[in-house]
Structures are given as C-alpha cells and as structure tokens.
A and B are shown apart, each in its own frame.
Chain A
Amino acid sequence: MNSFLDESVFTLNSGEWRALAPYLYLSAGLALATIAAGYRWSRAALRVLATIVLVPFMLALVWDLRVPPQFVFGTSLEVNALTRIAGALVSALALLSAFFTKSTEERDHPEWLLLLLTSVLGMSLLPGTRDWVSFFVALETLSIPAFILVALDTNREKSLQAGLKYLLMGAFASAILLMGIALFYGFSGSLDFEKTREMLSGPSPVGRALAVTAFLLVSVSLAFKVALAPFHMWAADVYQGSPTGVAAFLGTATKVSVFAGLMVMLQLTGAYALPEVVKVLMALSMISVVVGNLVALAQTKIRRMLAYSGVANAGYAGLAMAAGPESMTSVLVALGLYGAALICVLAWTESMISSSGRASHEDVAVSELGELLAPRSAWMVGSFALAIFSIAGLPPLPGFLGKYLLLQDIWRAGHVASAAVLVLGSLLGLAYYLRLFMPLFQAGTSAKSGTRASFGATFAGVLSTILLFAALLGFSRMTQWVEYVEGFAR
C-alpha cells in the first residue's frame, strides 16, 4: 500500500532489471537524442538514430514476450506480455512515422526525435501501470511532448494554432483526470487499482455513485486522448496543422496505447462490473461513429477528412472496448491495422505533395487529388487505394478482417445495437472514401512530374504497404499470436 513511498521500492532485483532493460535502453536513446538535438544533427542522421533506438527496443520487447509478468517499483508497474506487445506496436508505428517527420521551416527542429521518443516511452508504459499515480505520469509523459510536436513548425500559424488548441484541451483533460483520481483516493484511501476494485466489490460497496462519477471523469479525459466524440474537437486542427509525420504518430500510436491502457485499467479496477460506466463508454463510441462519419462526409480537405475518419475508427474500437476485456485482442489488431493503413495513406499523401513541388504542410483538397495522383506510378496509386480501402474496411483488405474481429466480439457480448452501428457506420464511411478517387477519374492523363518525391515518405509508404500485405496473409497467425500473448498476461 502506497508502495511508491517505501524506500525498498528503489532497490531493484534482477527480474526487475530484466523487465526494465528495454525501457532503460529507450531512455538512453532519449539521452542521445537530446545530444543530437543540441548538435543539430541532420534529418538523415536523426532517422538512423530513431531506427537504432526503436528497432532494438521493439525486438527486445517481442523477445521477452513469454517472460512471466514482473512487478517493478513495488506494485506501480507491471511489465507483462500485454505491456510489451502494446509497446512493440507503438514503437513500430512511431518508427514508421519518424521516417517522414520533419518540420517545414528552412531550419529544421532536430528536437522532434527527442519529443517523439519521450512520447513513445510514456505510451509503452501506460498499459503496464497499476496505480493511479503512475497511470497519470505515463499519460502526461505521452501527452506533453505531443503538444510540442504539434506546434513544431513555429513559423506556421496553423501549426501553432493546432498546438495551442491541443494544449489547452489537453490541460483540461488532465485536470479532469486528476479530479477523478482524487475521488478514487477519497473513497478508497489508496491509489492502487487493486484497492479501488476491492472497495467496489467489497461487502459494502462504498460510494457507488462516487465511484461511477470518478470513472466517468477518467473516461472523459481518455476519450479526449483518443478523440472520441464529443471530445474530438481538436482532432481536425491537429491533423491539419501538425507536420504529417506527427499527425501519423498521434493518430495511430496514441490510440493503441490509450485504448490498451484504458482497457487494462477498466478491468483491474473492476469498472466493467459497473453498467453505468460501460453504457457511457458505449454511448461515446456510438456518437463517435456517427459524428465522425457524418462530419467526414462534409470535409473538402484530405487531412481533415482523415481526422474525422479517425474519430469514427476510435468509435469502432471503443464499441469493442465497451463489450468487455475479452476484446483486447481484436482492439489491438484492429487499431494496429488501422495504424498501418493510415500511415500508408499519410505517407503517400506527403510523397505526392512533395513531388508536386508544393509546400509539404499544405492540406490538399479532395478535388486536387486527381492531378496529384494521375502522374504517379500505378503501384503508388494502387498502394494508396488499398490503404484507403483497408481503412474503409472493404474485403479482402486487412482492415476488413480487423473490423470483423471487432464485430465478432461486440456480437458475443450481446450488444446488438453496437453491432448495427458498426456496420451502418462502415457503410456510411464508404461514401467519403470512394469520393477520394473521383477527381482521379476526371483528371486528364497529362503527366506533370515535379521534383523528386520525399525519400522518407516513400519509404514509409512502401514499408506500411508491405506490412498490410503481410498482415493479410498472416492474419490468423498474427491474431493467434496476439491472443496467446494476451492470454499470457491475464
């Protein structure tokens, strides 16, 4: 109890060292990134550094997957298979985004890598936290660098505006989260998830209404992080204003980490037993699906459209999350596949824009897509189309299988209305995904090649396409693996 105040917490045994080792490696990389930022390393050097830090981190986590769960720092942090798998997924998505993160000023901001890695550290620890303090710390570790990343283009009004918006709303979200945590502490006298659960399920459940309120405050704060409606207002501006790579990182990795963290928290604190909490989560997700898809229909700019499609996709995952802790596998798989496809789309957009000679921060109107796509190779257009259709959930693309898994779990939990919302939402979504290609149909075939495409974006695009294909063919193996590993964590 209150283990983080106990001094013995800070002496680690060998098992704890072992469990922490990858995170320490990441922290060391972080230190190196600080130096790199100070010496203003070139963009290429930073990308190499990102690879050197993130790939071994990811491999180490995957290598240790079957190592039994290990508590670190008393009971604050549990490094188990789920923590590791979420961390590996987050770092893979971060690495892909790192390949096309750049600021658009003449002068680069080399601190982006430092910020990105800090955020990854927070994200990879969040699903492993076992008390409210470390939960809060991990959440802030992932958010604070994100605020700066969004505003990285200090010369651009849009970027600053997005950063400020994100920061202000993030500050409110943190305050609300703290309020919820304070309530938990108030009625249980402890900050442990375990104690919260004991108080809820004990012989005389204390302050049930209080607990529900606290959970709702916490849920609202996390709904903000993953952009569940109606807490999604920042999403469109952030997607549009921030550098493309940052948008890709925030749109994918945050969702994986926060959904995993939220589900673990809900399970460990026994919140799934409170029907009010589950109902509110379900309602938030349903609203997200409806609002996200409807508003996306009205968008004329690509990144804003993708932002709202992201809201809808968070909604799909949220529906499965509300269905119970058993849907962890499908949520992780679906969000991972969504992430790979979104990065693919953003990377190709970036590559198209840079090769057409425009400033890369510009958000392109859907109607301009035709002339951007027409001169590009059939491979690129095909890969772009497949990624879009994967997000849309059309068979045979992996996104369809991910959605099918979500649907299966929702159906098993008996949430018929949720299942209907998922299916109808996907159908509605098709309208704006299909619309993306209409300008291509109208565009003439006059090839107008501009400057060379950005290497990083092209690389990320190719890599994410390969990942999508691998996921399609190896879908069952992948899902079985996640399921096995995740079962190991329980």
Chain B
Amino acid sequence: MTLLFLALPFVGALVLFLLGKKARFAQVFNLVLQLAWLALMFFVHGQSREIAGNGGFPLVYSWKWLPQLKSSLSLGIDGLNLPLLWLTVILSLCLGLYAYGKDKLDGSYLGLFSVLNGATVGSLLAADALAFYIFWEFMLIPMYFLIGKWGSKNRVYAALKFFAMTMGGSLLMLLAIVALAFRPDVSDLGWHSLTQLALPWDGQWNSWQGLLFVGFFAAFAVKIPVWPLHTWLPDAHTEAPTGGSVILAGVLLKLGVYGLLRWCLPIVPQASMAAAPLMFALGVAGILLGSFAAWQQTDIKRLIAYSSVAHLGFMVLGVFSGNVEAMQGAVFQNIAHGLSTGAMFLIFGMIYDRTHSRELDAYGGFAKDHAWIATLFLVAVFASVGMPGLPGFVGEFLVLVGTFAVAPWTAVLASLGVLLGAVYMLTLVRKMMFGPTSSLVASHPVRLGWNEWAAILPLIALMLYLGFGAQTLLGLSETDLRELAVKLR
C-alpha cells in the first residue's frame, strides 16, 4: 500500500503529461488523482497506526534495488514523517483545487507537480541513505522546470540559482553517503544499520563524524535554509508560480529539518551536539536578520519568503537543542509553518492572479470589499506570528522553552524574533488590508471561485484544529524524539 502511495504520483504524472495542452482535462484528472492519493494516505495511516509513534522507524516495504551499492529501496513510517506526509498530501490537493480552471496550468505543469510530490514523499519515506539521496535530488528537476517555465520575470535566474545552490549542498551529502558505503563495517546503507554505527568522536572535526556531519549538514542547511545559505530562497519563492511557492515553503523547506532529525543527528550525534553552539548562532542570526529583512521588503512574496528564513531559524534552534521539548517544537513548527505560510502564499497568489502586482505600496484597503478573504489571510498571519490558539504559538513556545534549558541567552535573543515577527507581519496586514482603498484594489475586485474557497478553507480549519488540539501531533513524534534525545546525550 505504501509503495502504491509512492508510485501513484509518478504514474499519474505520465497521464498528465499525455494530456498536455488539454488543460481542463488535465485539471480534472489531477483532482481525481489528488483525491485518490488522499484516500491512499488514509489507508497508509490506518496501516501504520500500530507501528508509527513507537520508535525505531519500522519498515513497511523493502526491495533490494541496488545491492551492489549496498542500498535497497526501503520505506519506513514513524511519527516524524507521518505528519509531513499528511501535509504534502493536503497541500497538493489544495493546489489541485487552486489550479482548476486556470488555462496556463496545463498537463505539463500538473505533471511536474505530481513528479515533485512523488519525489517528496519518496524522500520522506526512504529508510535507506542512497534511496533518500536519490529522491532528494529528484525533487530538484521538476522544481527547476516549474520555476523556470511558469515563474515570473526573473524566473530563469531564480531557477538556476535554486538548482546550483541546492545541488552544491547535496553533492557534499552524496560524498558523505559514498564514504559511508565504502566503509568495510557498513553492510548496507539502511537507516537502521547506519544509526547503529556509533562512529568514534574525539572532538576533532577531521574525524569521520566531523566530516560526515559537514556533508549531511551542508545539504540540509541549504534546503532549510540556514543563514547565510538562504540567498536562493527569496528569489525562488518570489519568482516561482503560486503552486511552486506553496510547495517550496510548505513542504520542501521542511524536508531540511526532517533530514537533520532523520539522518544527520542519529548518524553523527556527538558531532552534531558539538556543533550546537555554532548552530545556535546561525539560527539566531537567521531569526533576527530574516526578520529585519522581511520588515524592509516592498514585495509581498519576498516579505513572506524572508519570514520563512526567520521561522526556520527557530527550527534550527529546536533541532540542535537536543532535548525532547525543543525537538518536538521544531517538528510541530514544521507543520504549523507549512500550513500558515502555505496558506499565505496561496491566498496572496489568488489575489495576485487578479491584480498582477506584488508591490506592497500598491495595495491598501483590501479588507473593505473583501472581508472574508482578509479574515482568512489574517488567520494565516496570526498563525505565523505565533498567536495563542493557533499552531505557530505551540511550536515556537516549545522551541524557546527547550532552548532556554540549554542556552538561556540564545532563547532570549530568539524570543526577540517573535516580537519582530509580529512587527513585520502586522505591518504587512496594515498596509495591505487597511487604510484608504488604493486604485489597484479598487480596479481589480477579487471574486474567488468555489474551487479557490475549497482550497483555502481546509488549511484554515487545520490551523484552528492544531492550535487547540496540539497534543494529537505532539504525541505522535514523542517516542521517536525521546529515542533520539537519548542518543544525543
């Protein structure tokens, strides 16, 4: 069943490519495909309910694909990847709804999206380092085309920058994996054998653990992105088409955090913890500099993009604090940020489709005639800012509590970020939604279709659900993270 879940997007993509320029057929087929995928997700969840969340990353499928390279295609499910799988499936269904009726988003676009989805869940499910790497790199190809072909003005530059930086980081991870594979004591590249390795650590960075850490961290740091490797993100987010921005912010960045928790920390625990002070510095730098940068933006998509840099800084703190609370916060924030930023990009994308302007100054008084859209956008903004009752609060609070226990001053500095987040986000809302109605807003009324409402509402509902019922999500990953925390000590 899990294999079918993984294969369906790839098979669906072939059909979507075949439909090609028949955009309407492709969109309808894509909706059916996404619904079928959602149904499969329920099955996958049902099947893994007993095993997930008990630790140990249980395998649900394994096939000796590349025994010569000590690798197999094995898939596992636990509390760390299950929520992200849900997030991917839900966001892509919402994007399918959003794409409906837009002639430009034809079969090739939807097909590439489907390939991207397949590669994403592949790297989430992979329980083998080489299989993980293969899926991880595979995500680049469709994204390169999505940004390059369907993006806005600077798309070619943004696509190439995104590709080059991510590839550069990933190549170091490949070297780390190859080096592991060539070790005589590594019988296979499966997660279970790699995490059992217990490589020696003597504080030297040119030792096995040190170099492997650099390799793995480089790939994940570019993806997250950790300051100062974040420069591809504002360009890619801004130039990407709406769907691309949503998936980038909602899912792809999260894979960086996931990768750290899944691969980097368990394989090289001591080196990771030794690097923690540096990571705290980089995380705080990301939070503060990202916030200030966001504050200064006049381009709305760029502002949201920089807010991602800041929020992802919290997750870096959470991951490297090494205690259960902080890591749980990071995992929770992963989902919360995926929902809130995804929703913001999605709603703004719908507005942009009508107004064709990303200039913040061109907007004003939007809320007057569009009370409902403004309300929904505001919910997403509050979720992002960390308003209690919405999920952003739970994630950031846990991260700060966990970090405070380890590095109090880091936590103090980071909590400034929460304040700054409110400043730049509320500035955005004030300038865009309130004040005198600008000519742009007055001349381009935004009337959403049924499919667009249907795309936003599930995200808002999920945010409210998670804000009040955080325990469902927190409980899921607790055992897995407890195991990890023991390793890190």
A442 to B150, CA, bound (A): 10
If over half of B's interface residues share one DSSP class (helix, strand or loop), that class is named, otherwise mixed; here it is helix
Residues 470-490 of chain A: 1 if any B CB is under 8 Å from the residue's CB, otherwise 0? 000001100110010000000
Min CB distance, A150 to chain B, in Å? 34
Residues in A with CB closer than 8 Å to B148 are: 437-438, 440-441
A379 to B18, CA, bound (A): 6
Chain B CB within 10 A, most for which of A378, A400, A401, A408: A378
| Minimal Cβ-Cβ distance residue in A for B136 | A395
| Minimal Cβ-Cβ distance residue in B for A412 | B182
Within 8 Å of chain B (Cβ to Cβ): is A166? no
Within 8 Å of chain B (Cβ to Cβ): is A394? yes
* Structural contact, A404 and B69, CB atoms closer than 8 A: yes
Residues 407-439 of chain A: 1 if any B CB is under 8 Å from the residue's CB, otherwise 0? 110011000000000010001001000100110
Within 8 Å of chain A (Cβ to Cβ): is B180? no
* Structural contact, B137 and A395, CB atoms closer than 8 A: yes
* Structural contact, B171 and A382, CB atoms closer than 8 A: no
* Structural contact, A427 and B167, CB atoms closer than 8 A: yes
Min CB distance, B214 to chain A, in Å? 15
* Structural contact, B66 and A434, CB atoms closer than 8 A: no
* Structural contact, A427 and B69, CB atoms closer than 8 A: no
Residues in B with CB closer than 8 Å to A411 are: 178, 182
Min CB distance, B272 to chain A, in Å? 25
Min CB distance, B158 to chain A, in Å? 10
Residues 149-178 of chain B: 1 if any A CB is under 8 Å from the residue's CB, otherwise 0? 100000110011001100110010001001
Within 8 Å of chain B (Cβ to Cβ): is A389? yes
A107 to B135, CA, bound (A): 50
Within 8 Å of chain A (Cβ to Cβ): is B313? no
A37 to B267, CA, bound (A): 65
* Structural contact, B178 and A438, CB atoms closer than 8 A: no
| Minimal Cβ-Cβ distance residue in B for A424 | B171
* Structural contact, A437 and B145, CB atoms closer than 8 A: yes
Residues in B with CB closer than 8 Å to A401 are: 66, 69
Within 8 Å of chain B (Cβ to Cβ): is A15? no
* Structural contact, B155 and A408, CB atoms closer than 8 A: no
* Structural contact, B137 and A396, CB atoms closer than 8 A: yes
Min CB distance, A409 to chain B, in Å? 11
Within 8 Å of chain B (Cβ to Cβ): is A377? yes
* Structural contact, B20 and A408, CB atoms closer than 8 A: no
A392 to B443, CA, bound (A): 49
A434-B160, A441-B155 known; A382-B17 Cβ under 8 A: yes
A378-B17, A411-B178 known; A430-B155 Cβ under 8 A: no
Within 8 Å of chain B (Cβ to Cβ): is A405? yes
* Structural contact, B138 and A396, CB atoms closer than 8 A: yes
Residues in A with CB closer than 8 Å to B65 are: 475-476
A475 to B65, CA, bound (A): 7
Chain B CB within 10 A, most for which of A394, A412, A475: A394
* Structural contact, A408 and B156, CB atoms closer than 8 A: no
A377-B20, A396-B135, A476-B65 known; A430-B167 Cβ under 8 A: yes
* Structural contact, B133 and A395, CB atoms closer than 8 A: yes
Within 8 Å of chain A (Cβ to Cβ): is B64? yes
* Structural contact, A396 and B68, CB atoms closer than 8 A: no
* Structural contact, B68 and A476, CB atoms closer than 8 A: yes
Min CB distance, A374 to chain B, in Å? 10
A377 to B20, CA, bound (A): 7
A423 to B164, CA, bound (A): 15
| Minimal Cβ-Cβ distance residue in B for A404 | B69
Residues in B with CB closer than 8 Å to A438 are: 148, 156, 160
Residues in B with CB closer than 8 Å to A479 are: 68
Residues in B with CB closer than 8 Å to A389 are: 141
* Structural contact, B141 and A427, CB atoms closer than 8 A: no
Min CB distance, B117 to chain A, in Å? 15
A382 to B10, CA, bound (A): 13
Min CB distance, B339 to chain A, in Å? 29
Min CB distance, B324 to chain A, in Å? 34
Min CB distance, A375 to chain B, in Å? 10
Residues in A with CB closer than 8 Å to B108 are: 378, 381
Within 8 Å of chain A (Cβ to Cβ): is B134? yes
Min CB distance, B58 to chain A, in Å? 24
Option from A379, A437, A440 in Cβ contact (under 8 Å) with B17: A379
* Structural contact, A480 and B68, CB atoms closer than 8 A: yes
Within 8 Å of chain A (Cβ to Cβ): is B144? yes
A170 to B90, CA, bound (A): 62
Min CB distance, B16 to chain A, in Å? 8
State which residues 439-475 of B face A: CB under 8 Å.
none
| Minimal Cβ-Cβ distance residue in A for B155 | A441
Min CB distance, B66 to chain A, in Å? 5
Min CB distance, B21 to chain A, in Å? 8
| Minimal Cβ-Cβ distance residue in B for A389 | B141
| Minimal Cβ-Cβ distance residue in A for B160 | A434
Min CB distance, B198 to chain A, in Å? 24
Option from B21, B111, B134 in Cβ contact (under 8 Å) with A396: B134
A480 to B141, CA, bound (A): 29
| Minimal Cβ-Cβ distance residue in B for A439 | B156
Min CB distance, B335 to chain A, in Å? 27
Within 8 Å of chain A (Cβ to Cβ): is B435? no
Min CB distance, B116 to chain A, in Å? 13
State which residues 361-382 of A face B: CB under 8 Å.
377-379, 381-382
* Structural contact, B168 and A427, CB atoms closer than 8 A: yes
Min CB distance, A401 to chain B, in Å? 7
Residues in A with CB closer than 8 Å to B155 are: 441
Residues in B with CB closer than 8 Å to A407 are: 178
Within 8 Å of chain A (Cβ to Cβ): is B67? yes
Within 8 Å of chain A (Cβ to Cβ): is B107? yes
Min CB distance, A456 to chain B, in Å? 23
Min CB distance, A420 to chain B, in Å? 10
List 17 other contacts, CB 8 Å, given A378-B111, A411-B182: A378-B107, A379-B20, A382-B17, A396-B138, A401-B66, A407-B178, A408-B178, A411-B178, A434-B144, A437-B148, A438-B148, A438-B156, A438-B160, A441-B159, A475-B65, A476-B67, A480-B67
Can you report 8 A-B residue pairs in the complex whose CB atoms are below 8 A from each other?
A378-B108, A379-B18, A395-B133, A401-B66, A408-B178, A430-B163, A438-B160, A476-B68
Q: A-B pairs with the 7 shortest C-beta distances? A: A378-B17, A441-B148, A378-B108, A395-B134, A396-B134, A395-B137, A378-B20
